[in-house]
Amino acid sequence: MLKAVQHDEEVMTGQTINAGRRSMKLGAAALLLAVPVTAHAQSYQCSPPSGLSAPAERKPASEPRRVKPVTGYTLALSWSPEFCRTRKDSPRDKTQCSGADGSFAFILHGLWPETRGPEYPQYCAPTKTLPPAVVKRNFCMMPTTRLMAHEWAKHGTCMTKRPETYFRVSRIMFGAVRFPDMDRLSRKPLTAGQFRNAFAAANDGVMPDMVRLKLNERGWLQEVKLCLGQSFRPQRCPAYMRAVKDGDPVKIWRGG
């Protein structure tokens, strides 16, 4: 399913999406409830600012255009407190990090199409400015318009012709994920293996080897990646995807 840019919304949001969604505990509504960021909600008091816009991103000259068959996906989830740790006063990152438009735990980095091997599809078609309604609807999941434009241009164009479809599917998959208690995990010694076990335990159909972590050089959690098959069901991550060793320590910044 979902080969390059040949599929419309009906294909992308049909039984294949629903099958993947059912294989994890559904939490779309719960994840966006207004409860403290240290609980399971991923956005707290999020309110999209007026006048949001996301100009079209052009393919960098240094990046190749790769139109390849899609054989799976990666759902990349960024831990916002760590990203914002040194960016609270950054004008570039104001909507995500200043606190003026909401506080965020995990946000969606992106839904990435994969192929067999490390050279994934990218920049499959030129893009136009994202519709304001798309930007506003997805802000609390991805609270930076720069990131929205980038993810659509680099990854979304390899899945569908319409940004509305790409972000709709992304919302479905993001909403299907249940997250472990990050506050509790942050308060005790933790290894990468223990974190993967906790993440898997929170999600039906997910095993630890279907989860990859990204840490910074000091061992702080930056990102969680969930590997998905063509049917959007969680699957074992490919061997070429870099993995943090189970015994490596993981630290979680809670914010503040």
Q: Which residue has the higher pLDDT, 178 or 20?
A: 178
Length of the chain: 256
Angstrom distances, CA of residue 151 to CA of 3, 76, 206, 246, 254: 18, 11, 25, 30, 26
Residue 4 has pLDDT above 50, yes or no: no
Mean pLDDT of 111-133: 96
Confidence of residue 12 (pLDDT cuts 50, 70, 90): low
Q: Where are the beta strands (DSSP E) in the chain?
A: 43-44, 72-79, 103-104, 106-114, 211-215, 221-229
Reply yes or no on whether the pLDDT at 256 is more than 80: no
- Between CA 226 and CA 206 the distance in angstroms is 9
Domains of the chain with CATH codes: 9-229 (3.90.730.10)
For residue 55, the model assigns a pLDDT of 87
Q: Alpha-carbon distance 120 to 179, whole Å?
A: 27
Tens of pLDDT along 223-243? 999 999 999 999 999 999 999
Identify the helix (H) or strand (E) that includes residue 59.
none
Between CA 88 and CA 239 the distance in angstroms is 36
State residue 255's pLDDT score: 84
Average pLDDT value for the chain? 87
* H-type alpha helices, 177-214: 182-186, 192-201
Please write the tens of the pLDDT for every residue from 44-67. Answer: 999 999 999 998 999 999 999 999
First to last CA, the chain: 43
Q: What is the pLDDT of residue 120?
A: 96
